Structure formats: structure tokens, C-alpha cells
Amino acid sequence: MKKSLLLATLPILALGLFAANEKKLSETEMVEASMPKIEAPKKKHEILCFSKPYGFRHGSIEIGETMLKVMGEKTGLFNVTFSEDLANFEPENIKKFDAICFNNNTHIQKGLKDEAQRASLINYVKNGGGIFAIHSATDGGWPEYTEMIGGNFNGHPWGAGGTWDIANEDPGHPIVKDVHGGKGFKLKDELYLYKDFDRSKQRVLMSLDMNSEANGKRKGSRKDNDYALAWVKEYGKGRVFVSAFGHNNEVFYNPKILKMWVEGFRYVLGETEVETASMKKPDFNQPKK
């Protein structure tokens, strides 16, 4: 090899060796590295993670469970029980938990058919229980469940392969004020369009940025152009946090999302008091005419 060619090749070889020696983090390690720190909780809570789907099965269910395990351990907020047993929703069992995380459990109405178990879940929340709903936990349900959650899946015109502009509607709110400095951000994920959604019944925290040309207008668009993606609400004495985010695996170790989710859990577990009264859609997020 000629000297000049060798000299030109050395930097390329060096970069290759560096890349080969660089440690590739596992998804669990990425969750651990991205999990925010919080102040010591008032107590260690007990939560149930229910991930069983009765429709489309999301590939991110497992990383969702990993995220919950890591969050519980690193923040000290909770112990988590992973179970697909519907008996957990019976009155004598559900009362063991301070909150329930519905982790991508599509079409729960097809599984939770027993009227007594349905009533037990609804009464559990009305009497002070917490609900943390991830992505397709909003895909399906019976009327009372949909009312409790605050919306029902009506398509995903913003697909998982796209990168979309997300608006922080309430930058002073404790759950989202420290997410990306209280500003909007870009996210690659599948975003839902909702029916049976009424802004007056919940506090919207994040939504699709309607000033973004990338987001655009999609088939089935709502007449009110209201595309909420994260919200909190009270349901009786209970507390509900909903996140449309959670289709793609990388969402579960995105520091921005994890920051919001940790604070969402603190709210549903009663660790923090936050504003849940409805707020009108901000002027900055009105669609361009």
C-alpha cells in the first residue's frame, strides 16, 4: 500500500475500531440512563400493570413493563405487580393497589366482559384509585371506561414512522413544566386521533402542534382541530393520567416522555396536587387559516 493511501485510510480504520469497541447500551440500560430523579416519595405505593391486549398487540409492551420496573426501583415511588389475571379487578383484589397502569392493552372491553368486574374498576377509581393509561389503553372500552379515560381511539393518521411536532399547552403545569424547558418538541411515534373526547372534562397538557406544516391536516380530522395527546382529569375522587405516546419502543426511554410520566405517576398516586380544571385551547396552538 502506498504511503499516501495508507495515511488516508488510517483515520477510517481508527473510527471503525472505535465504533466496534464502543459499548452499545441495551434498552434496559437506556431506560435506566434516562429516568429522572425525584424527591423522596411520601410512601412506597403498590401498582398493578395490566398489559394484556385483546386486539392488536404492540411490540412495545415489554419495554413498557421494563420502564415501569426501572421507574419503581429508581424513584422509589412504587412496587409493581405485572399480571394478566382479570381477577385483579375484583373488589377484594383491586383495593390492594394504589393505581393501575394500563400498558397498551388494546380493546379491554373484549377481555373485561364481566359486569361485576367492570363496575369494580369504575368504583375503584371513583373512590380514589389512580389510572395511568399508555397509548392503546385508549383504544376500546365500554361507555363508563371511555368516560373515565376521557377519549377513545379513532385512528392514527400520524404514523409510527413519522416525526411530529408536539405542543406543550400548559408549560407552567407541574407535570410538564420541566419537559424540554416547558417548550414543544419533536417526537417519532404513532399519534392518535380521538373520538368521545371533550376538552371541558379534562386538563390537556400536550397536543399536536397545529402550526406545524409537518403535522398537516389528516383524514378524519376533528372539526374543532383539537388533537390532545396527554391530559389529566379527576374521576369522582380518583385521578387519571393519559398518554397517547407509547407505540414506538424508543418512547419508553425518551427523557422528555419519562419526565412527564414520572410526574404523571406522582399525580395519580396522590404524591402531588396539580390543576385538573379544563383550560381552553391556547391561542398559539390554533391552526393557521
Quick: pLDDT tens for 96-147.
999 999 999 999 999 999 999 999 999 999 999 999 999 999 999 999 999 9
**Rg over CA atoms, the chain:** 21
Sign of torsion, CA 275 280 282 283?
A: negative
**pLDDT of res. 23:** 67
**pLDDT of res. 8:** 47
CB-CB contact of 199 with 277 (8 Å): no
Pick the CATH number of 26-285 from 3.30.1330.20, 3.40.50.880, 3.40.50.150, 3.40.1440.60: 3.40.50.880
Return the SS3 of 287. coil
Quick: pLDDT tens for 186-229.
999 999 888 999 999 999 999 998 887 676 665 567 777 889 99
pLDDT at 289 over 60: no
Domain boundaries, the chain: 26-285
**pLDDT of res. 211:** 83
CB-CB contact of 246 with 137 (8 Å): no
Q: What is the pTM of this model?
A: 0.88
pLDDT at 40 over 90: yes
Long-range CB pairs of 63-67 (<8 Å, 24+ gap) are 63/27, 63/31, 63/249, 63/252, 63/253, 64/103, 64/104, 64/134, 64/246, 64/252, 65/103, 66/27, 66/28, 66/31, 66/252, 67/31, 67/252, 67/253, 67/258, 67/261
Could you tell me the three cell numbers for 124? 375503584
27 Rama class: left (phi>0) / alpha (psi -120 to 50) / beta: alpha
**pLDDT of res. 287:** 55
**pLDDT of res. 25:** 92
**pLDDT of res. 101:** 98
Q: What is the DSSP letter of 48?
A: E
